[in-house]
Amino acid sequence: MCGIVGYVGPKKALPILMNGLKRLEYRGYDSAGIALLMEDGLMVAKSAGKIARLEETLGDTDYDCTHGIAHTRWATHGEPTQLNAHPHTDEKCEIALVHNGIIENFRTLKEFLTRQGFEIKTETDTEILVHLIRFNYKGSLTEAVRIALPQVEGTYGIAVISSLHPGVLVAARMGSPLVIGHGEGENFVASDVSAMLEYTNRVVYLDDGEIATVTADEHNITTIQNVKITPQIEEVSWTLDMIEKEGYDHFMLKEIHEQSVTLRNAYRGRLNYDEGIPRLGGLNLQYDELREIKRVIITACGTSWHAALIGEYIIEELARVPVEVEYASEFRYRSPIFDDHTMLLAISQSGETADTLAALREAKKHGVTGLGLVNVVGSTIARETDGGVYIHAGPEIGVASTKAFTSQVMTLSLVATLLGRMRHLSVQQGQEILDFIQKIPDQVETILQAEEQIKEIATQYYQANNFLYLGRGINFPVALEGALKLKEISYIHAEGYPAAEMKHGPIALIDENMPVVVIALKDPVYDKVMSNISEVRARNGSVIAVATEGDTEIADRVNHVIYIPETFRLLTPLLSIIPLQLLAYHIAVMRNCPVDQPRNLAKSV
């Protein structure tokens, strides 16, 4: 949603904070700002737009200070202007604060503070926080934060500094992630580890309701009720090169090309071939407990929701267990029916998606076994679930998810195979599935070698205003994901539909100006999909088909064919999505769109 970084130590703070902001820019890039503690007080600089604009504002001045906070914003309250940018300060400019989250009762607090004589200058909810801390300040910055926060309803991750307390940074968290980086004679605070990975890989993850007082030499953590916490320092396994472009023009392109590696990482060390079964000890469930599961609910948002839809097909077919896929944003606000044999699986790349986390917590209130499928180790969902599986995709910087999606689908395939082996799948059937799984990375690499062909197709359609994506069965969610990728990064209106539903409305849109992407693989519904293609062609629509290698029939029926290798039918989404990711990427580049940072989007919301 927003990116926070803070530093206390002996080094110059400005370059550390600016480098951290650039690492976090995928979390928001509407505006940016920085607060440095100088000898004569706080220096605050802010600008609307991306971090490069903030650099222009700061100029070449060499600020010789070692203590500061910075922020890159994804706007929720107030337009992305310089005035609304963080950090926000109190009226005396003695306290500065950056915030990630939403204060839901900010209007009530604003009225209270106005009656107390505070002048509210911005449209943001964040400014209310800094004035509330000032109102409660009695000589201790930490205590002022501690007294102020119980009055707040909503979510926050905050970092606060004050000219009255040099060398002290106060951080607190409720619903928005914050990490403390543990250095040698220096400490860091950030929204995620990428901002500090250049300096340390030793971190402490703050939990909800915790406050940290951070100096160069130590960090003391307590609850809001002032109960002391003994933190556990963890070592991050990610390396700096994982968050660099490494010669690629964009992070998204790099991450598309990493998928042959990340898919292998998703199953590495998890396949027991002799028994034809995946080993997923992180689920924390014994085999007899897995057999007792009679119903699975998968909850997620965005791309993760599309992965969940694919998981529904795989689990129901391999394990014969009914699966419901729920938008987390809707699930959390209704009254779902649970029983003792229901398992909830929460999917989130970041492990911090607010709606997915809320859905998980709601399910756990009802005593449901809550499992997580996340990428980020130490994330909130990973810590709050009863068990789960890491997808091991590595850091994903591009806002439009690619490698995390395929790693989620791969991991769901492992879960489905495990559940199936606990029921009716034989050892031989399990081994056959594992064989297909192990071939997927090399098959992905084969598809990536067709990038130039896909790029050529993009040159013919990048000026289109609308796209339609069609798929059937397990590849219908792939059509949804392909359409989402295109509209996210190229700003072209695109819709995904089950191919058979085209005649129930979307067919009215088809003409010579409407490109239609069809996933037409050699599977049980192949002939049906071919009929759908004929319906499009009869109305002068242009068809781009994703087809199975060796299918010569389809070439005469469509305008363009992108072939993918043949695999087990339930694993085809792992291959069929790759051409759609590349097509979206190259169309966006040709339209001069900011691929890694599309407008109005942020990585983790």
Q: Could you report the per-residue pLDDT of 330-341, keeping only the tens digit for each?
A: 998 888 888 889
- pTM value is 0.88
Indicate the DSSP class of residue 44: E
pLDDT at residue 391 is higher than 70: yes
- The number of helix segments (H) and strand segments (E) in the chain equals 18, 27
Nearest to 542 by CA among 510, 565, 498, 569: 510
Per domain, the residue ranges of the chain are: 3-236, 248-441, 450-605
**Is the separation of the CB atoms in 325 and 345 below 8 Å?**
no
Mean pLDDT of the chain: 94
What's the pLDDT band for 77 if we cut at 50, 70, 90? confident
Answer positive or negative: Cα dihedral of 405, 354, 394, 54: positive
**Catalytic residue positions?**
2, 603
Rounded CA Rg of the chain: 25
- Is-contact 388 373, C-beta < 8 A? yes
| Identity of residue 561 | V
- Residues 303 and 405 sit within 8 Å (Cβ to Cβ): yes
Assigned superfamily of 3-236: Aminohydrolase, N-terminal nucleophile (Ntn) domain (3.60.20.10)
> E strand or H helix at 32, and its extent?
strand 31-38
The DSSP result for 349-378, as a single string, is SSS--HHHHHHHHHHHHTT-EEEEEESSTT
The pLDDT-based confidence of 410 (bands split at 50, 70, 90) is very high
- Residue pair 436/568 in contact (Cβ under 8 Å)? The answer is yes
Neighbours of 535 (CB within 10 A): 16
Instruction: Give the strand pairing for 187-190 and 3-8.
Output: antiparallel
Mean pLDDT of 129-151: 96
- pLDDT above 90 for 601: no
pLDDT attached to residue 15: 94
Q: Is residue 239 pLDDT above 80, yes or no?
A: no
Query: What's the rounded mean pLDDT across residues 94-99?
Result: 96
Task: Identify the pLDDT of residue 242.
Answer: 77
The pLDDT of residue 387 is above 80: yes
Cα–Cα–Cα angle for 237, 240, 244, nearest 5°?
A: 130
> What kind of architecture, by CATH, is found in domain 248-441?
3-Layer(aba) Sandwich (3.40)
pLDDT tens digits, 567-596: 999 999 999 999 999 999 999 999 999 999
Average pLDDT over residues 2-11: 95
State how far the alpha carbon of 529 is from the alpha carbons of 30, 445, 482, 510, 555, in Å: 43, 26, 17, 16, 14
Q: Which helix (H) or strand (E) holds 441?
A: helix 427-448
169-178, 576-585, 593-602: the lowest-pLDDT one = 593-602
Q: Do domains 248-441 and 450-605 have the same CATH topology?
A: yes
Distance between CA atoms of 595 and 10, rounded to whole angstroms? 37
Predicted local confidence at residue 604, as pLDDT: 66
Q: 98-109, pLDDT tens digit by residue?
A: 999 989 998 999
Residue type, 101: G
Mean pLDDT computed over 463-491: 97
**How far is Cα 143 from Cα 440, in angstroms, rounded to an integer?**
55
pLDDT number for residue 257: 97
Q: What is the per-residue pLDDT across 314-355, written as a single tens digit (0 to 9) for each?
A: 999 999 999 999 999 999 888 888 888 999 999 999 999 989
The residues that bridge with 327 in the sheet, in sequence order, are 300
The per-residue pLDDT for 605 is 61
Residue 445 has pLDDT above 90, yes or no: yes
- Other residues' Cβ atoms within 10 Å of the Cβ of residue 111: 11
DSSP-assigned beta bridge partners for residue 524: none
Residue type, 251: F
Beta bridge partners of 324: 297
pLDDT for position 244? 83
Residue 237's pLDDT is what? 83
pLDDT at residue 232 greater than cutoff 90: no
> Looking at the predicted structure, is the pLDDT value of residue 158 above 90?
yes
Among 197-211, 239-253, 350-364, 432-446, top mean pLDDT goes to 432-446
Among the listed residues 234, 236, 229, the one whose alpha carbon sits nearest the alpha carbon of residue 208: 229
Tell me what the mean pLDDT of segment 117-129 comes to.
92
In the predicted model, is pLDDT for residue 246 greater than 90? no
pLDDT at residue 498 above 70?
A: yes
Q: Which CATH architecture has domain 450-605?
A: 3-Layer(aba) Sandwich (3.40)
Q: Report the chain's terminal Cα–Cα distance, integer Å.
A: 5
Reduce the DSSP state of residue 25 to 3 states and report it.
helix
Residue 428 pLDDT exceeds 80: yes
Q: What is the mean pLDDT of residues 66-82?
A: 88
